[in-house]
Structure 1
Amino acid sequence: MLPVHVSPPPRRQNGPRVARHSRRTPAHRDPTHRDGGPGRDGGRPNNRRRLSQNFLADPGTARWVVRLAEVTADDLVVEVGPGEGAITRFLAPAARRVIAHELDPRLAERLADRYRDPAKGVRVVHGDFIRSRPPREPFSVVGNIPYSRTSDIVRWCLEAPMLTSAVLVTQLEYARKRTGAYGRWSLVTVLTWPWWSWRLAGRVDRNRFRPVPRVDAGVLVLGRRSEPLVPVGRRAQYRRVVELGFGGVGGSLSASLSREFPAGRVVDALRSAGVDTGAPVGLVRPDQWVEVFLALSGPGRTGSRRGRRG
C-alpha cells in the first residue's frame, strides 16, 4: 500500500501524533466547482462555514451509513471528514483499518487522541482529503462530506484506481440529480455508468446534524462494477459519443448524434435501446446510453461520418 503523502507529523506536547498532508501534493480539481458557494451551516460567517462542518448527531444514522458500506474485518476504509467521530465510532470496530482525513486541526487532534491506541486501527490525517493519494490496495470511502466540496470528492473517488465503493452523506439535491430521481440524468452519471453504479440509499433529515443545515441530506452509494458494461479499452470512444449527445443545442438525442453518425443508424440504435427518436438527451437512462453506444460502435459497424471523411 502506498501511504498517504504527508510531511513529518507534528506533535503537541504530551499529545498524539497527527499526520498532515504536504502542501506540495497536487489537488484533484473540478472546473465546475465554486469554492464560495453556500455551505451546510445556513450562511453563518464563521469558521464552520469555511470548513462546511455539520456534524452528524444521530448514532442510528451513523450506524446505518456504516452498514450500507458493508465493511468487513478485512477492509481498508478511508473516511472523509470524520469531524467529531460519529461515523468513525462504528467504522473502527468493523474494519481492518481506517484512515480518517480531517481538515479542521482541532478536530483532527481530538480524534487522534481518542484513537491513539494502534490496536484501534484508526489513523487520523490532518489535511484536505482531495489532496491525498489513494491507497494502492482495494479500499472503500465513507464520509459525511461538506456539501461545498461534493463535486471534488466524488471526482476523487471516481478517479481512484483501487476504490471499490463509496458511501457519502451529501446534499439530498445532489444525490437526487445524480441518481435520476427526477427522471433526468446528468452527464457525469452517464459518463461513468459503464463502470460505476449510482444509488440514492435514503434521505437524512437535516435535524440529525449540528448545527442544523438549511437542507436535508441524502446518502449516495457508488459501486464499482465487477464486470464493466463497456470494455475499459473503449472508454474514450464511449466518452466521445456521450459528449456528442449532450453537446447538442436544445434538441433530441437523435439530432445530437446525427451530427456525426448516419441518421438511419442513429434511429436503429435508439430503437434497439427502447429510446423514442424525439427523446431529449437528459431523459435517456444510463443503461440505454450503453445500448445506444454498443449499437453504434459494435462489430461490423461502419465508422462515423467524421471517421469516413478523407
Structure 2
Amino acid sequence: MPSSSRRAFGGRHELGQNFLVDRHVVARIAALVPPGPVLELGAGDGALTRQLAVRAGDVTAVELDPGRAAGLRRALGRRVRVVQADMLRFRFDAAVPNVVSNVPFGITTPVLRHLLAQGAWTTAVLLLQWEVARKRAAVGGTTLLTASWWPWYEFGLAGRVPASAFRPRPGVDGGILVIRRRQEPLVPPAERVAYQRLLREAFRGDRLLPAIRRAVPAPHRWLAAQGLDEWARPRELTAEMWAALYEAASPRRRNR
C-alpha cells in the first residue's frame, strides 16, 4: 500500500499499531474470550481473526484500512463478517457479548473510553502496552479512568506479552487486560455522571481528605470506617470504597 494511503487511514506508525506474529500469544488471547459471538476491533492482518473464526459463534471484525478489510474478506469468506470502519465510531451490537482487540498503542485511551461507554457487551479482552494494562487493572494503585468505571466493570491483568511477539517490534512489552461487566453494579448506572463528577474532584489533589471535606459529613470518621487515615490518597481506594464514598456524599441517599 502506498505510504500516502497508509497515512490517510491511520497506519501502523501513526497509531502505534503492532501486529501479532506469535501464534502462542494469539491462541492465549483467543482462549480468554468466552464462548459466543465476538467483535474484534482493529483486525489488522487477521492473526486473531483467524483464530477466532475456528470457534463456534459469529465473528465480526472491524478494520479501518480498506485494503486490509478486503484482504480479510478474501481470506475468510463467510466465516467472518468484516466491517470496514473506524473502531472509535463503531456502534456495538447488543447481540455480541464479547470484544477482543490488539489495541493500537497510539489510541489506547480513546478506545477504552469508547468501549466502556457502550452498553452492549459483557467481556472485553484487550492487548495494551504492559504499563497501561497494569494501570487499568489497578496494580500498584488505581487511576482516575479505572476508578471512574469501577462500579460497573471489573478490570483484571491476564499476563504479559513480550515485544518480540509483535511486528514491527515495539519498544515495550504488551499486557492482556480483561474487563468484565459487573452483574450487580456498585452504583446505579443512571447515576454515572454524578459519580464520575465526584471522582474528578477527588483526584484533583494528592490527598483524598481535602477533596471530600465539603462532600462528606464527618470525613475523618468516614476515612476511619474504611480503614484509611487522613493522609490517604485517591489511588489507594478500592472499587467498594469509591462506591461507599459516593453513597456518603449523596444528599438524596443520606436523607432517605
User: TM-score w.r.t. structure 1 length?
Assistant: 0.74
Answer yes or no: is 1:49 the counterpart of 2:13: yes
- Which residue number corresponds to residue 133 of structure 1? 91
Deviation for aligned residue 1:108: 1.5
CA contact (8 A) 2:18 2:167 kept: yes
Give the unaligned 5+ runs of structure 2.
Answer: 1-9
Distance 1:153 1:245, change over 3 A: same
Deviation for aligned residue 1:51: 4.4
Answer yes or no: is 1:212 the counterpart of 2:212: no
Deviation for aligned residue 1:261: 3.2
* Moved beyond 3 Å, runs of 4+: 259-262, 295-300
Task: State the distance in 2 between where 1:287 and 1:137 align.
Answer: 30
User: Which amino acid letter does the alignment assign opposite residue 280 of structure 1?
Assistant: R
Distance 1:233 1:82, change over 3 A: closer
Task: State the distance in 1 between where 2:71 and 2:252 align.
Answer: 58
Deviation for aligned residue 1:212: 0.8
Specify which of 127, 137, 143 is matched with residue 179 of structure 1: 137
Deviation for aligned residue 1:76: 2.0
CA contact (8 A) 2:43 2:49 kept: yes
Specify which of 51, 58, 61 is matched with residue 90 of structure 1: 51
> What do the CA deviations read for 1:44-84 (whole angstroms, capped 9, x no partner)?
xx9531243311111111111011112x2xx2211012222
- Which residue number corresponds to residue 19 of structure 1? none
How well do the aligned residues superpose, as a CA RMSD in angstroms?
A: 2.1
- Which residue number corresponds to residue 143 of structure 1? 101
User: Which amino acid letter does the alignment assign opposite residue 191 of structure 1?
Assistant: S
Specify which of 203, 207, 213 is matched with residue 258 of structure 1: 213
Specify which of 155, 160, 163 is matched with residue 118 of structure 2: 160
> What do the CA deviations read for 1:145-183 (whole angstroms, capped 9, x no partner)?
1001111111121111111111010111111111222x2
User: Which amino acid letter does the alignment assign opposite residue 205 of structure 1?
Assistant: P
User: Which amino acid letter does the alignment assign opposite residue 55 of structure 2?
Assistant: A
Distance 1:138 1:104, change over 3 A: closer
Task: State the distance in 2 between where 1:296 and 1:127 align.
Answer: 42
CA contact (8 A) 2:15 2:105 kept: no
Q: Normalized per residue, which structure has more helix?
A: 2
Task: State the distance in 2 between where 1:208 and 1:192 align.
Answer: 30
Match of 1:271, SS state, is helix
- Which residue number corresponds to residue 188 of structure 1? 145
What is the correspondence of 1:23-42 to structure 2 with a 5 Å cutoff? none
CA contact (8 A) 1:272 1:291 kept: no
Distance 1:243 1:123, change over 3 A: same
Specify which of 238, 244, 254 is matched with residue 291 of structure 1: 244
Aligned length: 247
CA contact (8 A) 2:17 2:106 kept: no
Distance 1:47 1:195, change over 3 A: closer
Distance 1:217 1:300, change over 3 A: closer
CA contact (8 A) 1:270 1:292 kept: no
CA contact (8 A) 1:273 1:292 kept: no
Specify which of 215, 220, 225 is matched with residue 272 of structure 1: 225
Specify which of 3, 27, 36 is matched with residue 63 of structure 1: 27
User: TM-score w.r.t. structure 2 length?
Assistant: 0.88
Give the unaligned 5+ runs of structure 1.
Answer: 1-45, 304-310
Distance 1:50 1:93, change over 3 A: same
* Percent sequence identity over aligned pairs: 38
User: Which amino acid letter does the alignment assign opposite residue 67 of structure 2?
Assistant: R
- Which residue number corresponds to residue 187 of structure 2? 230
Distance 1:106 1:299, change over 3 A: closer
